[in-house]
Chain A
Amino acid sequence: MQVGGGEGASNALFIDTYYFWLIAIGAIVVLRLMTDARTRQYACAGLNLVFLVFVLGKQIAWLLAAGAILLFLYRAYRRSSLRLTLTLIIATAGSALFVAYKSAFFTHVPGEAWIQQLLAGIGFSFVFLRVIDLARSLQDGRYDPPRAEQMVNYLLPFHMLAAGPIQAYDDFARQPGVPNPLTTRETLDAVQRVAGGLFKKFVLAYALQKVFLTDLQAPGLWFALEVQILLLWLYLDFSAYSDIAVGLGHLMGVATPENFNRPWLARNLIEFWDRWHISLSQWIRRNLFIPIQLNLMRRYPRTDPVLIASLAIGVSFFMAGIWHGFSRGWLLWGAMHAVGLVVVRLYTGWMHKNRTAEQIAAYRDNRLILIATRALTIEYAAMAFAVVFMLK
C-alpha cells in the first residue's frame, strides 16, 4: 500500500474534477438568487442529481430506482405501527448493500490503489449513515416523511458526498428554507475556507506525504516520527475536504456541519472524539451508543452502569471500525478506541469518587498534566491510525 495514494493516482475524490467546481459555482449563484424555499429545494435537488450524472453516468438509473424504493419506505413511516419494522428493513437492507459494496472493493482492487478505493468507499459510507439517521429520526416521530427533493438533498448533497461531514437529519430539517444573505466578510471567510482547504489538501498534505511518508517502511526512530506525521497528514487531508464542504455550504446557504476542531487540544479520548471527525462521533452517539446503552439499562436494570456503558462503547466502536473498512487494521483501530474510551471513563469515575472537587480542579489546571495528557491522547490516536495502515 502506498500511503496517500500512488504516484499520479487520483485520491482527490471529486474536488479535482471540473464538474464539481462547475456545479459548485452554479449552485452558489442559483441558490443565492432564489427567494422561494420550495423552488430552492427543487433547484438544489436538480443540481445534486446533475452532479451524480457526471459521477455515475448511466448507472444513475440504479441509484434512482433504489431512491424510489427508499422514498416509498420513508413515506410509510406515517403509520406509527410500522415504524420499527421499517427501520429494521432499511437498516438490514442498507447494511447488506454496504457489506457487499465494501467486500467487492477489497477483493477486486489491487493493493496499490488501496487508499483511493478506501476513500471512494467512504463516499458511499457517508450516504449509508445518512440513510440510517433519517430512518431513526422518522422512527422517533420527530419529523414528517421527506418529499423526494428533500430526500435527495439530505442523502446526496454533492459538496458533502466525497468525505462528509455526516449531517444529522435534525440539522438538515431545521435549516431555514431561504438563508440570510451573506455580508462581504462572511463571503470572504467562506471563500477563504474553500481556498484554505484546497491549499491544505494539494500543497501541505501533498508536501508532507512526499517528504516524510514511506508507507511506514522506515526503520527505528524514523518510523516513530512517521507515525506522528501520518496523523498530521490524515488531519490535513481529511479536514481539507471538510473545509471545502463547509465553505461551499456557507456560500450556497446550505447547512453544513463542522467536522474538526483542533484535535491536538484534546486532553483525553472522549474529548478527542469531540474534536476529530465530529459528525461521525455524533452519529455514533445518536444511533449506536445511546440506543444500545438505554436498551441494556432497561433490560438489565441491576447491572453496573459503568459495565453497560463500556459494552455500549465496545459495540459502537466495533461497528465504527467495520464501517471504515473490512480489515484487521480497522478492527484493531476500533478496539483500541473502545478500550481507550472505557479507560478514560473508568479513570474519570475513579477521580470523582476518590478526589474532592478542589483536587479535581487543581488536576485540571496543572499545566504539566495538561501537556502530558494532550500528548498521550494524540499519541494514542496516531498509533491507532498507524495500525490501520500496517494491518490492511
Chain B
Amino acid sequence: MFRPVAEPSTERPAEVGRVELAVRTVLIFLQIAAAYLLAEQVSPFFYQQF
C-alpha cells in the first residue's frame, strides 16, 4: 500500500530565524536609505523638514 505523500507546504514558518531577521532588516534599511537619499531629488521638501 502506498501512503499518500503530503503536499509540500507553501506556508512559511511562523517564527523568524535570526539570519532571516538580520538579512531582512538590512534590506529594509537599505531601501529606506535609498529612498531617503533620492527623495531629495524628487522633492527637496523631504530634507527641509528636518
Contacts and interface: CB of A to CB of B under 8 A. Distances in A.
B15 interface: yes
Interface in B1-50: 12, 14-16, 21, 24-25, 27-28, 31-32, 34-36, 38-39, 41-46, 49-50
Max count, chain B CB within 10 A of own CB: residue among A184, A188, A202: A202
B49 to A, nearest CB: 4
Main secondary structure, interface of A, reads helix
Contacts of A113: none
B14 A183 contact: yes
B38 A206 contact: yes
A196 B28 CA distance: 8
A164 B14 CA distance: 30
A110 interface: no
Contacts of A8: 41, 43-44
A191 B26 CA distance: 12
B38 A202 contact: yes
Contact of B42 (A16, A192, A196): A16
A16 B39 contact: yes
Contact of A12 (B16, B21, B25, B39): B39
Smallest CB-CB A-B distances: 3 pairs: A198-B35, A18-B49, A202-B35
A184 B41 CA distance: 34
B12 A16 contact: no
A18 B49 CA distance: 6
A183 B15 CA distance: 8
B49 A195 contact: no
B27 to A, nearest CB: 8
A212 interface: no
Contacts of A206: 38, 41-42
Contacts of A199: 31-32, 34-35
Contacts of B27: 192, 195
